[in-house]
Chain A
Amino acid sequence: MALIDVGGQRGNPTLSDWFERWHIDSWTLSLLLILSGFGMVMLYSASGHDLGAVSAQAKRLGLGFVLMILVAQAPPEWYRSGAGWLYGGTVLMLVLVLLLGDSAKGAQRWLDFGVMRFQPSELMKLAMPLAIAAYLHQRTLPPQIGSMLVSIVLIAVPTGLVMVQPDLGTSLLVVAAGGFALFFAGLRWRWILGAIAAVAATAPFLWMRLHDYQRGRILTLFNPERDPLGAGYHITQSKIAIGSGGTFGKGWLEGTQAKLDFLPEANTDFIFAVIAEELGLIGVVLLLLVYLAIVARGLLIALRAQDTFQRLLAAALTLKFFVYVFINIGMVIGLLPVVGVPLPLISYGGTSAVSLLVGFGMLMSIQTNRKLLAN
């Protein structure tokens, strides 16, 4: 903070005073700005020197940052009291999406409100941790069997609704957001292990329920050559991009895989491959360090939070953010199936960036309201 605190020796309001007044956590903000700035630099390369795409992304991120700061102004109690309504409303919208939503790429995800199109599943990534945190806040922790079952139902219903859209990536994140809240509430290990066992046991049945394209993605993950021109093409080209980047990379704007269009979705889901190709392992490690720093800051905020709701919300949002990163990179490097999860704050596209930034706004609210109380 001292680094940013330049002005205020003579009683004038310093930058840190200004941040405090507007409920801004300067660590989180700095890291997010670094990430977004880096993202736009890489987007310029990944989109083939398309300044239009970069400025569009800058506008979305700007909107996201403004929303983040607005959200930070409200005290955490407001969110706790609004959590139920938000959750209920979002579930309702998910049902509406299934009934009359617009479809894109074979999946129904959008609600069209005339002036804007809206993706309720995106909102659920926020509503879910809020709802579970708010619910468990009122319960004895570690959760007893009753509150656990209620939580599971609260998680399962929207997850199911998202999964049948079908949107495997988002449903994973929704489960993660809710599940982590439950985990941080102290869910007993034997239940956690039991749940893992249960998932393993039901996996074959889930497999039967998957869409063909989802199965294809999973099969192709384990053997990309199975379909080198179809589903395996993405992952094969992505691995070629990453591997050819080597330790030091080919240099910014020099990545041939993206520049020559071999890498599909280079500026959205597969932008990590562009980073790995152009900046090499060193660039990738630095990027992971920035992500880990954000996660560390989030967990620190959670540890310092003043009540159960705030703790659970902060920790769940933070871990959800990490899962975002993990799933995206995991799928790009061929560890996980291609499920369509963007790289947070770097991939081109607004919805997920805005919802992530709103989540960080809540983290800031938790952090800064604690300080105010302490004062």
Chain B
Amino acid sequence: MARRESIKNLQREKNLFGARVAVGTVLCLLMTGLLLYRLSALQIQGHEYYTTRANDNRLRVVPVPPVRGLIYDRNGVVLAENRPAFGLEITPEQVDDMPALLGQLGSLIELTESDLKRFNDRVNRTPRYRGVPLRTHLNMEEVALLEVNRHDLRGAEVTAGLTRNYPLASEGAHVVGYVSGITEDDLQRIDAASYQGLGQIGKTGLERFYEDRLRGMPGARIIEANAFGRPLREIEHRPGQAGQNLHLTLDSDVQAVAQAALGELNGAVVAIDPRSGEIIALVSKPGYEPHRFVEGIDAVSYRNLLQDRNRPLFNRALQGQYPPGSTLKPAMAVAGLEHMVVDPEHREFCPGHMQLPGSTRLFRCWRRRGHGWMNMVSGVMQSCDIYFYQLALNLGIDLMHDSMQQFGLGSITGIDLPLESTGLMPSRAWKRRTRGEAWYPGETLIVGIGQGYTLATPLQMAQMTARLAMRGGGYPPHLLRESVDPVSQQRVSHSPEALPPIILRNPDHWSAVIQAMIDTAHKQGGTALRIGQNAPYLIAAKTGTAQVASLSQDDKVARTLENTPVRLRDHALFIAFAPADDPQIAVAVLAEHAGSGSAVAAPVARKVMDQYLLGEVQYDVPAPVIAPYSGDVRKTSGAP
């Protein structure tokens, strides 16, 4: 039956099959069409998008760090440079037997436990084809040993990089600053794109202030890499921009003399060219070793530095705030003359002390037996406190405040270094605002001799001196003279605009005060005679002693340096400019707890001026030491 049926339906079956083949053909064509539709969507419409994605896959941007700019002093002496540093890297992929290699290396160079631990940690977190640092800062001997044995050390390689070097080391640290590793805090304030490939950033000093100029801009290499991140070839090199070289106004010879002159004392020296505001020297002692930060300081050492009682990280020259003491007197004299509370011939009698009406408090002169009749010149020259108590009383606190502010006290100078302090020039308004108290007349008196609330940084004192020297003219103090592009040699000079001048109604008053300062250094009875009498140039100067601990007015026992603990001893201060008839340098010296300004601080200033003006130090007095010391009997308030 089946056979018969099949014979019967043979043609029908064949027709049916033909129809099904037609359907099958159509089906194949439709499905092919679907594939082509999808393919054209990917390859034509999606082409651009997927091309980008393919490139994102394969192309890696490897930053090329820029070379940091160098820092030179005004004579071309290098203060910050980049020095090759050698390290040892191991590429795990190329090493057959890691423990054997490490053992072999350990027999050639020093490998500490922590080197090995850090290395092992990093090996596990790094692709095997990438080098992992095992040691940094190899010395030349170690480099040579490794290179000689190179053939036995497959997978180990000496790498060369650049590290920052500061030839002045601790003597330049407070000016130049240092670079160190970028921290989380730094990341908050920087544009990460500018730091690609860079591990360090200027942390303080000029390295921080001129970070943007010194750094340059990173370039990039476009690398083709495979799916495992292995770089295969360079596609493109985009050059970066090298950092600018900085040429400073600083004179490293003068800087060195100032350092040496301060000796073991803690203190600061600031020297300014008053004609331009250029900083010639800026010293803060003690200094610190900047390379420890470059190499990465450990937490314990850092804490020790922070807790050091000498505060080596503290830049006394611009962060330290001290009572300016008698160094304020020339500026006070200018104010007194300007506001006609005195004229140059006006006289006051100094009996050694004075009292305010209705008060029993005794205000003493540093010279207990008194100076006798004093005029402006002798008042400055002998630093008579009574004269300036009277002057202050006549001026009043508010006029004093306004006048001293003109000399720059109480506000930052705008020097191109970070973290400058403002100092403080008190006023009625200030006291009411900050303490909620009325101003007492007695406070006016001691502000008149640079004590009380008055605070100034050594930099401000130097700036005040420069403005005296320039008879009210002057420029903001600054360290940068010009920056130079190392590639194009294009120079950009840095010369700040002149400050608004201090204009006196009678310009002769400048001469009067300057003459008083000259007499201080050159006339018999002047407090700075010891440094002025044999100077080959004319010096205008003022000594000062800043009181640290207040003494009881009834103090009957004369204090001496020997019987006073060091931390309670007065600060020695000195300001000067020279040549007085053609000012080229203005200096402020602060020596902490060193006692007398004339004995300790003045010689420092003299040596600095000698070096700058004569090219050598003629003044031949050894660097001061704190103890043993046999000096004058100490006085109560202001002092020479």
A interface with B by C-beta (< 8 Å):
138-142, 180, 183-186, 237, 239-247, 256-257, 259-262, 276, 280-281, 284-285, 288, 292, 295-296, 299, 302-303, 308, 311-312, 315, 319, 322, 326, 329-330, 333-335
Q: Are the C-beta atoms of A256 and B54 separated by less than 8 Å?
A: yes
* A240 with B18: CB separation less than 8 A: no
Contact at A140–B50, with CB atoms within 8 Å? no
**A interface: dominant SS:** helix
B363 to chain A, nearest CB (A): 82
Q: Indicate if the CB atoms of A315 and B232 lie closer than 8 Å.
A: no
Supposing A186-B17, A243-B49, A260-B225 touch, asked if A335 and B38 sit within 8 A by C-beta, the answer is yes
Which B residue's beta carbon lies closest to that of A299?
Answer: B21
Q: How far is the CB of A225 from chain B (nearest CB, A)?
A: 12
- Shortest beta-carbon distance from B4 to chain A in Å: 10
Query: B24 and A303: CB pair below 8 A?
Result: no
- Once the chains bind, are A139 and B44 in contact (CB under 8 Å)? no
Residues of the B chain whose Cβ atoms lie less than 8 Å from the Cβ of A237: 57
A256/B28 in contact, CB under 8 A: no
Quick check: A281 and B39 within 8 Å, CB to CB? Answer: yes
CA distance A326 to B27 in the complex (A): 11
Determine the chain B residues whose CB is within 8 A of the CB of A329 once the complex forms.
35
Which listed residue (B18, B38, B226, B228) contacts A333, Cβ 8 A? B38
Q: Name 21 interchain pairs, CB-CB below 8 A, sorted by A.
A: A180-B24, A183-B24, A184-B17, A186-B13, A239-B42, A239-B46, A242-B42, A242-B43, A243-B42, A243-B46, A247-B44, A262-B57, A281-B39, A281-B44, A285-B36, A303-B18, A308-B6, A312-B17, A326-B31, A333-B35, A334-B38
Give the shortest distance, in Å, between B352 (CB) and chain A (any CB): 89
Q: How far is the CB of B588 from chain A (nearest CB, A)?
A: 66
Whether the pair A276, B2 counts as a contact (CB closer than 8 A) is no
Partner of B47 from the list A142, A246, A330 (CB cut-off 8 Å) is: A246
A308's partner among B13, B24, B43 (CB-CB below 8 A) is: B13
Let me know if A186 and B20 touch, CB within 8 A: yes
Chain B residues with CB under 8 A of A186: 13, 16-17, 20
CA distance A13 to B38 in the complex (A): 48
Option from A183, A241, A302, A319 in Cβ contact (under 8 Å) with B54:
A241
CB neighbours (8 Å) of A280 from chain B are: 43
Assess A243 versus B50: contact at CB under 8 Å? Given A330-B35, A333-B38: yes
Chain A nearest CB, measured from B63 CB (Å): 21
Q: Decide yes or no: A246 and B43 within 8 Å by CB, A140-B5, A184-B17, A261-B226 being known contacts.
A: yes
Bound CA span A242–B35, Å: 13
- A242 vs B248: C-alpha distance when bound (angstroms): 60
- Chain B residue nearest to A296 in the complex (CB): B25
- A270 → chain B, closest Cβ, in Å? 13
Q: Which residues of A have CB within 8 Å of B25?
A: 296, 299
**Is A281 within 8 A of B17, CB to CB?**
no
Q: A186-B20, A303-B21 are in contact. Are A281 and B54 (CB under 8 A)?
A: no
User: B28–A295 contact, CB under 8 A?
Assistant: yes
Asked if B104 is an interface residue, CB under 8 A from chain A, the answer is no
Cα separation A232 to B24 with both chains bound (whole Å): 33
The answer to whether B24 touches A260 (Cβ under 8 A) is no
| Chain B, residue nearest A288 (CB) | B32
Shortest beta-carbon distance, B175 to chain A, in Å?
51
Q: Verify B35–A288 contact, CB threshold 8 A.
A: yes
As a 0/1 sequence over residues 202 to 230 of chain B, the CB contacts with chain A under 8 angstroms (1 = contact) are 00000000000000000000001111100
Measured CB to CB, the nearest residue on chain A to B34 is: A335
* List of A residues within 8 angstroms of B54 by Cβ: 240-241, 243-244, 256-257, 262
The reply to whether A276 and B28 contact each other, CB–CB distance below 8 Å, is no
- B40 in contact (CB, < 8 A): yes
**Does B125 sit at the interface, judged by CB under 8 A?**
no
Complex alpha-carbon distance, A142 and B224, angstroms: 62
> Closest residue to B40 on the A side, CB-wise?
A281
Residues of chain A with a CB closer than 8 A to B32's CB: 288, 292, 326
Q: Supply 17 further A-B pairs (C-beta < 8 A) apart from A138-B2, A141-B16, A326-B32.
A: A139-B2, A183-B24, A184-B24, A240-B53, A241-B54, A244-B50, A260-B57, A260-B226, A261-B228, A262-B227, A281-B40, A281-B43, A288-B32, A288-B36, A299-B25, A302-B17, A315-B20
Neighbouring A residues of B232 by C-beta, 8 Å: 260
Flag if A244 contacts B47 (CB, 8 Å). yes
Cβ contact of B57, chosen from A142, A256, A284, A319, cutoff 8 A: A256
A299 touches B24 (CB 8 A): yes
Given contacts A240-B54, A243-B46, A256-B54, contact A184 B36 (CB under 8 A): no
Does B9 sit at the interface, judged by CB under 8 A? yes
When distances are taken between beta carbons in the complex, the residues of chain B under 8 Å from A292 are 28-29, 32
Quote the shortest CB–CB distance from A125 to chain B (angstroms): 18
Q: Does B75 contact A (CB under 8 A)?
A: no
How many angstroms between the C-alpha atoms of A299 and B28 in the bound complex? 11
A285–B47 alpha-carbon span in the complex (Å): 16
B51 at the interface (CB under 8 A from A): yes
Check A244–B28 contact: CB distance below 8 A: no
Q: Does B58 contact A (CB under 8 A)?
A: yes
Residue of B nearest to A142 (CB): B16
Which partner residue on chain B sits nearest A256 by CB separation? B58
Q: A322: which B residues are within 8 A, CB to CB?
A: 28, 31
Asked if B39 contacts A284 (CB within 8 A), the reply is yes
Task: Please determine whether A246 and B51 come into contact, CB atoms closer than 8 angstroms.
Answer: yes
Q: Which 7 A-B pairs have the closest CB atoms?
A: A243-B50, A244-B54, A261-B227, A260-B226, A243-B46, A186-B16, A246-B47
Point out the residues of chain A lying under 8 angstroms from B225, CB to CB.
260
Instruction: With both chains docked as a complex, state the minimum distance between the C-beta of A84 and any C-beta of chain B, in angstroms.
Output: 17
Interface flags, B576-615, vs A, CB<8A=1, else 0? 0000000000000000000000000000000000000000
